[in-house]
Structure formats: structure tokens, C-alpha cells
Amino acid sequence: MTTSTDVSPTTLLEIAYAEAQQSLTEGGIPIGAALFASDGALLGRGHNRRVQNDDPSVHGETDAFRNAGRQTDYRSTIMVTTLAPCWYCSGLIRQFNIGSVIVGENTTFQGGENWLTDLGVSVTVLNDPGCISMMSSFIDLNPLLWNEDIGVATDQAVAE
């Protein structure tokens, strides 16, 4: 599926990017997301809150999804995220048949991006310089927190 909105992917990314910045301001992991209808209408927005809420299940995509509320059908929706979705969030995208994903960047992390593509989900990667810079800086400054977020045990990270 392709996005059927006349709104550019870069414009949609601006909302997710603002959410990522908000998470960083709150002392969290700078990953933001937003769920849009096919016409570009914003359904929900959110950001990673695992640090702020002490809840490892609140990723950017899950927060945006929850904030969108119930929808009767997700096939025509567009999930926009500043970072390639992890396996957990990729599972959410697959479970609810979200039709399109716009990824701000996938240079620092790829997660389940290829799996989604293999399953027929339209994935557009922008490799936005702002998203790359924000995430790269965060990972450099917070390697243990980053590894916790992506499920890498501390002893594994040291060995790598």
C-alpha cells in the first residue's frame, strides 16, 4: 500500500519529530511517532515514555497508537516514526494491519523494518538528518539506556 495523502512524508514526520524532542526534554528516549488517516488527518501522536513512566511497553509507536483510540480499520492508516520500529512495534503494525510506515531514519537501528516490507507493508525511509543526529547523539551519551530500550543486556553490550 502507498500513502494516499497529498501531505508530504516530511511534513508528517514533523509531528513525530516534535514528539521525540519532547521525550528528550522529559529525560526520555527521543523516539516519537504519529498515526495518520490516509488523508493526512492526525489520529494520535506520542513518544517513548519508558523512562518517564517506568514502563518498558510505552514506545513511541505504541503511545501514538493508544492515543489514536479505537479505529474500525487500520489498513489505510500511516504510522510515522522517527526511528525504524523495533520488533515489538513492528508486531503492533502487523497485528493491526497498518498499511504504511514512514521512518525518519534507519541508520542507527533497523528493528523489524525488513520483516514489515516482506509482509507487504509499505515502508518509506527518509533518513532525515535531524532524526539521525538526535538519535546518534542520544546513543553516544546514553549507551546503557539505549541497550536497555532495544533489549540488549548490559553484559552483551560490553562484549560487542
Which helix (H) or strand (E) segment holds residue 32: the answer is: strand 32-36
102 in Cβ contact with 84 (< 8 Å):
no
**124 phi and psi angles, rounded to 5 deg:** -115, 120
* Alpha carbon distance 48, 33 (integer Å): 9
Active site residues: 61
Q: For residue 30, what are the contacts with CB-CB under 8 A and spacing of at least 6?
A: 20, 21, 23, 24, 47, 48, 82, 134, 135, 138
Contacts 24+ apart (CB under 8 A), 119-123: 119/94, 120/1, 121/1, 121/93, 121/94, 122/1, 122/2, 122/3
